[in-house]
Every structure is written in structure tokens, then in C-alpha cells.
């Protein structure tokens, strides 16, 4: 794999660029930290606030409520 993205199937943390992304294996699937992914993909100083505002905007515009739990990532 390239230097930009490395993954070890046994580790709970993966690296994307220089950012670490937490994950957990549960019920035969990986779950990743949304806040960590936002931090890796944006230049946000506060990725938690970025996620909060993104969820709020989506709910207001489409009525869809984004969730940080029980999301199938397949």
C-alpha cells in the first residue's frame, strides 16, 4: 500500500496521510470514527463541530438524520 494509506487488519487504528483513524471490528464488520475521517479529509480546526453542523444542515435540507451509530459501512 502507499504511504498515504496504511492498514493492518489487527490494529484498531489506521493511518490516512498523517492522520490516525480509530476503528473497531464488531459483528463481522469494521466501524470507523466519523470525526477522525472528517479530520483526515478536511482542514477543520474542530472536526466534532464540523460533523455537528453537517448533520444539522442535512436534516434541515433533506429531513435525513445522520447518525454515528449502527451504520453499515459495506
- Angle separating helix axes 34-41 and 47-62, nearest 10 degrees: 100
Please check whether residue 73 lies inside any domain of the structure. Answer: no
**Number of domains present in the structure of the chain:** 1
Residue 47 and residue 37: Cα distance in Å, rounded?
A: 9
Please check whether residue 39 lies inside any domain of the structure. Answer: yes
Residue 1 and residue 3: Cα distance in Å, rounded?
A: 7
Mean pLDDT by 10 residues, the chain (74 residues): 54 80 88 92 92 95 81 48
Domain range holding 48?
Answer: 5-62
Count of CB atoms situated within 10 Å of the CB of 69? 6
Please check whether residue 54 lies inside any domain of the structure. Answer: yes
pLDDT for 6 equals 56
pLDDT for 43 equals 82
Please check whether residue 10 lies inside any domain of the structure. Answer: yes
pLDDT for 26 equals 86
Please check whether residue 57 lies inside any domain of the structure. Answer: yes
pLDDT for 46 equals 96
Contact in structure between 21 and 14 (CB atoms under 8 Å)? yes
- What is residue 70's DSSP assignment? S
Please check whether residue 31 lies inside any domain of the structure. Answer: yes
pLDDT for 25 equals 86
Amino acid at each position: 500500500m502507499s504511504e498515504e494509506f496504511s492498514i493492518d487488519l489487527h490494529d484498531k487504528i489506521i493511518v490516512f496521510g498523517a492522520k490516525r483513524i480509530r476503528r473497531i471490528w464488531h459483528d463481522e464488520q469494521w466501524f470507523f470514527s466519523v470525526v477522525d475521517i472528517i479530520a483526515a479529509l478536511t482542514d477543520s480546526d474542530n472536526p466534532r463541530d464540523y460533523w455537528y453542523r453537517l448533520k444539522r444542515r442535512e436534516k434541515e435540507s433533506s429531513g435525513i438524520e445522520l447518525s454515528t451509530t449502527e451504520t453499515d459501512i459495506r
